[in-house]
Amino acid sequence: MMFKNITIAGGGVLGSQIAFQTAYFGYEVKLYDINEDAVKAADEKLDKLVARYTEFFGDQSKAENARKRISTTANLEDALQDSDLLIEAIPEKKEIKADFYTNVAKVAPEKTIFASNSSMMVPSDFAEYTGRPEKFLALHFANEVWKNNIGEVMGHAGTDKKYEEEVLKFAESIGLIPLHVLKETPGYISNSILVPFLEAGKKLYVSGVADIETIDKTWMAATGMNMGPFGALDVIGLNTDYSITLANAEKNNDELLLKFANLMKEEYIDKGNLGVSTGKGFYTYPNPSFKSEDFIVRQGQEK
């Protein structure tokens, strides 16, 4: 593996985490976003990650040095200069991604491998726009990547297998568990399991079956898990999940999912309540009710 310089496109919650994780393990990173305001917001996220990585790994010096290895820019050509690997983490909309790859194909060095972090779209959706379909694949990360450290690598029919192997090695080199997805599937492995779980919670809520806390409490008490679907949605980020929920609702003509998407936008997103990242979503952070000692009280256990 000859990777040295890594480009991240998209400085949102996950894009900034991918950049920091990559730099933390020694790579030089350039983070690109669409304009100076977006770049400023990305810089603020990166600065906050110094404390998160220090807390998790216990090495402040290493976290501070990782931040120094990340430069940010709104100039796409500058971001791709001498890039070995581009990881795209831009909004989950096909037209936006297609336009991005059309533009990036014009300026990226010939050597650059392209990897999409798309949650529910597959590489073959965009291969034709990349100008290098044999060097195009998916590398999927989970939110809070430093602890939820999976790296799902999935090619399409035209991906050269050697690049899949290279990206699997890269994933391992930045502290991820490298997971080879052998066949294209929307949602990879992780989201193929997660999305139905989340959708079940959403439909129970908008159908009036139970309130948010009861739904989460039921799942947590029955399975021993540390959060339910709505706690998980706060971690994922409501703005990220909204795009996926809306797309699935429209694709499947699902009235309940559409109702939930509209509720999420009007009652939460439009009010700036995006989940853990903003301190409020379905729960309030840093001390959500589902983490309190008395959220679940078992028989024989003192409240």
β-strand 28-32 against 150-154: which pairing, if any? unpaired
**pTM of the complete model:** 0.86
Contacts of 44 (CB under 8 A, 6+ apart): none
Q: In this structure, how many other beta carbons lie within 10 angstroms of the beta carbon of residue 272?
A: 10
189-248 tens-digit pLDDT: 999 999 999 999 999 999 999 999 999 999 999 999 999 999 999 998 999 899 889 988
Query: In which band, very low, low, confident or very high, does the pLDDT at 120 lie, cut at 50, 70 and 90?
Result: confident
Reported confidence tier of residue 303, pLDDT bands at 50, 70, 90: very low
Q: What average pLDDT score do residues 152-163 get?
A: 98
pLDDT above 50 (res 25): yes
In the block, tokens 């690598």 appear at 153
Identify the band that residue 2 occupies on the pLDDT scale cut at 50, 70 and 90.
confident
Query: In the beta sheet, which residues pair with residue 71?
Result: 30
What percent of the chain has pLDDT above 90? 90
pLDDT at 139 over 90: yes
What residues pair up with 115 in beta bridges, in sequence order? 87, 137
Looking at the chain, how many residues does it have? 303
3-state secondary structure the chain: CCCCEEEEECCCHHHHHHHHHHHHCCCEEEEECCCHHHHHHHHHHHHHHHHHHHHHHCCHHHHHHHHHCEEEECCHHHHHCCCCEEEECCCCCHHHHHHHHHHHHHHCCCCCEEEECCCCCCHHHCHHHHCCHHHEEEEEECCCCCCCCEEEEECCCCCCHHHHHHHHHHHHHCCCEEEEECCCCCCCCHHHHHHHHHHHHHHHHHCCCCCHHHHHHHHHHHHCCCCCHHHHHHHHCHHHHHHHHHHHHHHHCCHHHHHHHHHHHHHCHHHCCCEHHHCECCCECCCCHHHCCCCCCCCCCCC
Q: Please determine, for residue 187, whether its predicted confidence score (pLDDT) is greater than 50.
A: yes
> CB count, 10 Å around CB of 193?
10
Identify whether 286 is preceded by a cis peptide bond (ω within 30 of 0): yes
